[in-house]
Amino acid sequence: MTGKTTFNDLGLSAQLLEAINEKGFEEPTAIQVLTIPLMLKNNTNIICQAQTGTGKTAAFGLPLIETVNLDSTTVRTLILVPTRELAIQVAEEINSLKGSKDVRIAPIYGGQSIDQQLRRLKKGVHIVVGTPGRIIDHLGRKTLKLEEIEHLILDEADEMLNMGFIEDIEEIMKHTNPAKRTLLFSATIPQRIKDLAHKYMSGYELLTVKNEPLTTNLTEQIYFEVKASDKFEALCRIIDSEDGFYGLVFCRTKSDVDAVVTHLLDRGYDAGSLHGDISQAQRERTLEKFKKKRVNILVATDVAARGIDVINLTHVINYSLPQDPESYVHRIGRTGRAGNEGTAITFITPSEYKKLMFIQRFARTDIKRSKIPLVKDIIAAKKKKITADLSNILEDKIDNLYYNWAEKLLADNDPASILAAVLNYCFEEELNPAAYSEIKEIGAKEEQIDKQGKARLFVALGRKDRMSAIKLVELIRGRVSIKSRDIRDIQVMENFSFVTVPFNKAEEIVVNFKEKGQKPLITHARKR
């Protein structure tokens, strides 16, 4: 095989290749190249080391769709994931890849109506994506049978083990078909995963994808918390506050793209749009204008933006929050390229804060909160640029026409008054604060604790480590600014512990106890 590997080279059917094309994938990732042919070829157990953002859901999802027995009325595949957010994400991703195949997929997780899940399972499901706690609930109720499954997949296996799921995973495995194929996908392969594989997998093939930074350190990542109704105004302020803005704006739907572009054009910005309803000819014309900077703002959906190769973008703006970490990584990877610095900005509403923290955690990145530029600061920046532009003009030769005109104006008027009148004439609209609408400030996380609630954390230390409730509080407070009374419901077990903290402090604690190259000491506890 010469040149780059394509999806055509991986052994997938024409039906799935059409679905992949419609999805907008252009070429397979490294993990997809390794995994897809192996899953299609034989029944070898697999341990795959690959980080989030490398396309591993499609790596195992496509072969599952390809080989599933559509005539079956029982569950053929169980995919275990650590969180409800990931269960939804994986189920949605596989659904989006199945094309016209009648593959039935159900996410099963805590927090969702058990009756709704029972109805889905009763109708017949081929692939179940679930969190261990809720899967065990269904096994106890005998509403989920795994005796005939052909595939058991553990996604984010290291995270599940860090969150204390090892006993649940072993319990689930007892209910599965002994002849099944087991696949472990994990960013790291700690000894506990090797032990699990040795105990439950009779031989396996290890696939490893070289770890590379998912997000470049040349890209500054920030987020703004705004009401949905204020997003467009926030977008305009960002564009106006940046000298030489040149960026991609991502929306979730085609109608959102059209609405944002229409509003931008109405305000006088040079903007173009890309989405699935735009013809190939129009797409090419729009991209040509964008690459030549005749249009400096391109608003697009995720699928439509695939294949855009522009290396000097200053900004990527997530007007709508991405559905999952992989989408986030793909979006922001379009700036901070070829040695150029860039900024990735994400808009979230207050209710989306938890989802953003989930994306941050699984994309293994740091997204900092920031404040929307103030109108007075934008006006000041514009004045500074106009002053610099005027200074540059003075350095060039100016036609005598303008000198003669200036002398006539100055003959009868005060110089300052004439200059003020000229500036007003030229820049009245551009420097008018009334052109901007008010954006109401949303308070910091500390002011929203009642809305955001609490978070349960898992601590990989217990009585065997001479840990006590008092020592645990001191340990956390030694690295994070938090009041003792905010660390509640402490449970110290033999090998590990649990604590409850305000949600707004949870991510800060997790990040502060994450040591490079080592297993996280504190992580989010499992959700049943």
> How many other CB atoms are found less than 10 A from the CB of residue 493?
14
Report which of 62, 54, 59 is spatially closest to residue 97, judged by C-alpha positions.
62
- Residue 202 pLDDT > 70: yes
Instruction: Look over the chain and give the mean of its residue pLDDT values, rounded to a whole number.
Output: 85
Provide the token pair at 93: 């991703």
- Residue 527 pLDDT > 70: no
pLDDT of the residue at 449:
38
- In this prediction, residue 1 has a pLDDT band, given cuts at 50, 70 and 90, of very low
Q: What CATH code is assigned to 7-208?
A: 3.40.50.300
Average pLDDT on 43-50 reads 88
**Nearest-5° Cα angle at 85, 61 to 229:** 120
DSSP structural state of residue 487: S
Average pLDDT on 73-90 reads 88
pLDDT of the residue at 453:
65
pLDDT of the residue at 442:
67
pLDDT tens, position by position, 311-342: 788 999 999 998 777 778 878 877 755 556 78
- Residue 107 pLDDT > 90: yes
Q: How is the chain split into domains, by residue range?
A: 7-208, 219-373, 376-435, 452-524
Task: Residue count of the chain, please give it.
Answer: 528
On the question of a common fold for 7-208 and 452-524, the answer reads no
Crossing angle (nearest 10°) for helices 503-512 and 353-362? 10
Tell me the DSSP string of 170-193: HHHHHTS-TT-EEEEEES---HHH
Specify the higher pLDDT residue, 340 or 148.
148
- Residue 528 pLDDT > 50: no
pLDDT of the residue at 319:
96
Average pLDDT on 78-99 reads 87
Average pLDDT on 238-261 reads 91
Q: Quick check: pTM over 0.75? A: no
Average pLDDT on 215-220 reads 65
Average pLDDT on 250-259 reads 91
pLDDT of the residue at 216:
52
- In this prediction, residue 451 has a pLDDT band, given cuts at 50, 70 and 90, of very low
Report which of 140, 319, 119, 300 is spatially closest to residue 234, judged by C-alpha positions.
319
Report which of 86, 150, 151, 146 is spatially closest to residue 121, judged by C-alpha positions.
146
What's the distance, Cα to Cα, between the start and end of the chain in Å? 47
Average pLDDT on 268-278 reads 88
Percent of the chain with pLDDT over 90: 30
- Strand 497-502 to 454-459 pairing: antiparallel
| Cα gap 390→211, rounded to integer Å | 50
* Residue at token pair 């490398």: 54
- Residue 450 pLDDT > 70: no
Q: How would CATH label the architecture of 219-373?
A: 3-Layer(aba) Sandwich (3.40)
pLDDT of the residue at 3:
59
| Cα gap 295→305, rounded to integer Å | 15
Average pLDDT on 104-124 reads 89
Based on its alpha-carbon atoms, the radius of gyration of the chain, rounded to whole angstroms, reads 28
Q: Which CATH class is domain 452-524?
A: alpha beta
pLDDT tens, position by position, 386-441: 898 888 888 888 888 988 998 999 988 899 999 999 898 888 888 888 778 888 76
